[in-house]
Amino acid sequence: MRELNKTAAWLLTALRIVIGWHFLYEGIAKAFNPNWSSALYLMESKWLFSGFFHWLISSDTSLQIVDFLNIWGLILIGTCLFLGFLPRLASIAGAFLLMLYYVANPPFVYSSVPSQSHFYIVNYNLIEAVVLVVIATFREEQLYGLQRYLSSRNKKLIEKKFPAAENHEILETVDTSRREMIKNLAVVPLFGAVFFGMAKKRGWISFEEDALNAKPQAVSGASLLLGKTMSVKELKGKVPAGKIKNAELSRIMIGGNLISGFAHARDLIYVSTWLKKYFTDEKVIETLWLCEACGINTAIFRCDENTIRIMEKYWSRGGKVQWLAQTYPKGEDLSNVKQAIDHGAMGAFVMGGIADKIIVDNKIDDLRKPIEYIQNQGLIAGTAAHSMRVLETCVANGIKPDFYMKTFHSHKYWSATPIDPVNPDLPVDGEDHNMAHDNIWCMSDKAVTDFFSKDETPWIAYKVFAAGAIKPEEGLKHAFNSGADFACVGMFDFQVVENANLAYSILNGPMNRERKWYG
């Protein structure tokens, strides 16, 4: 192979250093991020070997191994490329790793995982892999770096053992040796300086943060001052499941209010708009992937064009979370119910506010018809309710849904205001939760518990956190101990793993539950 001129050697060395730094930065950033996991990236795979990539995250052990190899592979390859140590081996290993990334999520297979700098077929993974293959074709001593220095040093040791005959040749060799050492080891101080800068930028070296972290942390309401996002690596186990007829549903299900932008935020009128900006289609799909990884296999979403569009995207990418549809029948008009069924819902129910009004207006058949229609299509059917009168009317009139969805939470939170603040002990019949002065959706948790202690219909509890006023552990434990068979929980993506862990621990631990499981 012909020798490179100095300009070409320096340019290829610079290219190797830049790619090495990219590898090293990615590896170190992941190592210092306790919430990072490769689970979401691998779960999104839907091209070659997608089954293998999905299998890798099927257990905590295999996922931990993949994450460990990923992090330290990036760090070791990056260090070797940056310093020029074993550059050919590092280039080949780096190209192999990049091609694994490429095959797992190629840019021409649309993915919700951000794919940077790609144009249909080409992305930076492919570009860097090709560059590393080119670098690997050059001999290690042709590019500047630690390996060239070591090779040169070994050569000088041999020449020293067998010295040249003329003194001027020896002096020339020593002088050249010093110059070569400076050239080849120039990256070492650069490596240290850049690493320090990165550490400072990312807050890994921060005297100010050390001082702040030395102060005791305050606790306010249901949330810690400094929150912690949990990753799939910290999952204790998959959420247990139950059955409603032949449909298998996870014991906790993700609710759709947050995703649809309907937030119960009292008088904070900007929150719903903010939620709609946050929950883009891709963020919803990412959240569903996390649910799937945690064993949450059911999403309770309203039936509208927004939900249908997102679920069709998600399912087209291989998603497995099923849709239990909240529907809006209007008397004889069941078109919204039919829309849910036609677009893949595995079950449907009448929205709670509509069911409440049907009972108040004494139009019992308007509740019976959609439930029976859904059942006749072979799907599980139910009704939601805020008021206990909905459940009692179903029993009294022989309406037999496959499940009830009933609001359920205690009033043990500071903002729970009774209907009549002047007479807080006044009995409440639970007729209309909107009569409450603040965030109360279950007027009497005792009345709900008493009803289900005598009824064998599967019960999905919702509003169990009273719109975030109750700590998740307390809300879930109260619901399951009181007889709920399932719980619908509104979740941001960063809350999915934590809620899954809470449900797993509660359902697999000692419980003070008297009602049999009917799901």
Q: What is the pLDDT of residues 203-247, one digit of tens each?
A: 544 444 444 444 433 333 333 333 345 677 788 899 999 999 999
pLDDT at 291 over 70: yes
Using 50, 70 and 90 to split pLDDT, how confident is the model at 194? low
Whether residue 215 lies inside any domain: the answer is no
Task: CATH number of the domain at 457, please.
Answer: 3.20.20.100
Q: Which of 441, 429, 466, 340 is nearest to 385 (CA)?
A: 441
Q: What is the pLDDT of residue 513?
A: 94
Which residue has better confidence, 416 or 67? Answer: 67
Count CA atoms closer than 13 A to 286's CA, side-chain side.
16
Residues 65-84: what's their mean pLDDT? 91
pLDDT at 170 over 60: no
pLDDT at 436 over 90: no
Using 50, 70 and 90 to split pLDDT, how confident is the model at 498? very high
Domain boundary pick from 201, 230, 257? 201
- Sign of torsion, CA 355 359 365 371? positive
Residues 188, 255 within the same domain: no
Domains identified in the chain, total number: 2
Residues 191, 324 within the same domain: no
d(CA 111, CA 107): 8
Residues 356, 441 within the same domain: yes
Sequence-ordered list of residues with C-beta below 8 angstroms from that of 3, at least 6 positions apart, any chain: 142
d(CA 15, CA 1): 20
Mean pLDDT: which of 108-112, 153-157, 214-218, 375-379 is highest?
Answer: 375-379
User: Are 173 and 159 within 8 A, CB to CB?
Assistant: yes
User: Are 30 and 71 within 8 A, CB to CB?
Assistant: yes
d(CA 461, CA 406): 5
Which residue has better confidence, 311 or 229? Answer: 311
Domain boundary pick from 174, 201, 228? 201
Between 189-193, 256-260, 377-381, the lowest mean confidence (pLDDT) is in 189-193
Residues 258, 316 within the same domain: yes
Which residue has better confidence, 296 or 35? Answer: 296
pLDDT at 409 over 80: yes
Between 123-137, 145-159, 266-280, the lowest mean confidence (pLDDT) is in 145-159
Residues 180, 87 within the same domain: yes
Q: pLDDT, tens digit, for every residue of 332-359?
A: 999 999 999 999 999 999 999 999 999 9
Q: What is the pLDDT of residue 433?
A: 60
Q: What is the pLDDT of residue 222?
A: 34
Domain boundary pick from 177, 201, 225? 201
pLDDT at 169 over 60: no
- Among residues of the chain, what percentage have pLDDT more than 70? 77
d(CA 162, CA 376): 95
d(CA 516, CA 371): 25
Residues 418, 284 within the same domain: yes
Beta bridge partners of 119: 122
Which residue has better confidence, 164 or 73? Answer: 73
- Kindly state the tokens that stand for 471: 């700590």
Looking only at the bridges linking them, the beta strands covering 347-350 and 322-327 are parallel
Whether residue 232 lies inside any domain: the answer is no
Q: Which of 320, 374, 367, 368 is nearest to 347 (CA)?
A: 374
Whether residue 519 lies inside any domain: the answer is no
Q: What is the pLDDT of residue 258?
A: 83
Whether residue 169 lies inside any domain: the answer is yes
Whether residue 395 lies inside any domain: the answer is yes
d(CA 349, CA 326): 5
pLDDT at 304 over 80: yes
Q: What is the pLDDT of residue 162?
A: 58
The residue type at 425:
D
Rounded to 5°, angle at Cα 388 from 387 and 394:
110
- Among residues of the chain, what percentage have pLDDT more than 90? 44
Domain span at 284: 249-507
Q: What is the pLDDT of residue 438?
A: 61
Whether residue 405 lies inside any domain: the answer is yes
How many beta carbons lie within 10 A of that of residue 128, not counting itself?
21
The residue type at 221:
G
pLDDT at 455 over 90: yes
d(CA 367, CA 362): 10
Q: What is the pLDDT of residue 207?
A: 44
- Sign of torsion, CA 38 40 41 46? positive
Between 31-35, 283-287, 456-460, 485-489, the lowest mean confidence (pLDDT) is in 31-35
Mean pLDDT: which of 136-140, 279-283, 386-390, 465-469 is highest?
Answer: 386-390
Residues 169, 262 within the same domain: no
d(CA 303, CA 343): 9
The residue type at 284:
V
Residues 57, 150 within the same domain: yes
d(CA 331, CA 467): 30
Whether residue 214 lies inside any domain: the answer is no
Mean pLDDT: which of 145-159, 275-289, 502-516 is highest?
Answer: 502-516
d(CA 31, CA 75): 9
d(CA 486, CA 507): 11
Q: Which of 35, 19, 154, 11 is nearest to 77 (CA)?
A: 19
Residues 303-307: what's their mean pLDDT? 94
Using 50, 70 and 90 to split pLDDT, how confident is the model at 49? confident
Q: What is the pLDDT of residue 167?
A: 47
Q: Which of 474, 440, 445 is nearest to 459 (CA)?
A: 445
H helix or E strand, kind and range, residue 243: strand 241-244
Residues 158, 15 within the same domain: yes
Q: Which of 98, 66, 76, 96 is nearest to 27 (CA)?
A: 76
Which residue has better confidence, 499 or 175? Answer: 499
Residues 40, 167 within the same domain: yes
Q: What is the pLDDT of residue 226?
A: 34
User: Are 262 and 272 within 8 A, CB to CB?
Assistant: yes
- Kindly state the tokens that stand for 185: 């080891």
pLDDT at 372 over 80: yes
User: Are 518 and 458 within 8 A, CB to CB?
Assistant: yes
Whether residue 36 lies inside any domain: the answer is yes
Give the E-state strand segments of 364-518 in sequence order. Answer: 380-385, 403-407, 459-462, 486-489
Residues 144, 81 within the same domain: yes
Between 262-266, 419-423, 425-429, 509-513, the lowest mean confidence (pLDDT) is in 425-429
Residues 164, 282 within the same domain: no
Residues 490-519: what's their mean pLDDT? 93
Between 4-13, 167-176, 241-250, the lowest mean confidence (pLDDT) is in 167-176
Ranges of H-type helices in 279-318: 281-294, 305-316
Q: Is the whole-model pTM more than 0.85?
A: no
Which residue has better confidence, 468 or 297? Answer: 297
pLDDT at 457 over 60: yes
Between 192-201, 291-300, 371-380, 509-518, the lowest mean confidence (pLDDT) is in 192-201
How high is the mean pLDDT of the chain?
81
Q: What is the pLDDT of residue 179?
A: 57
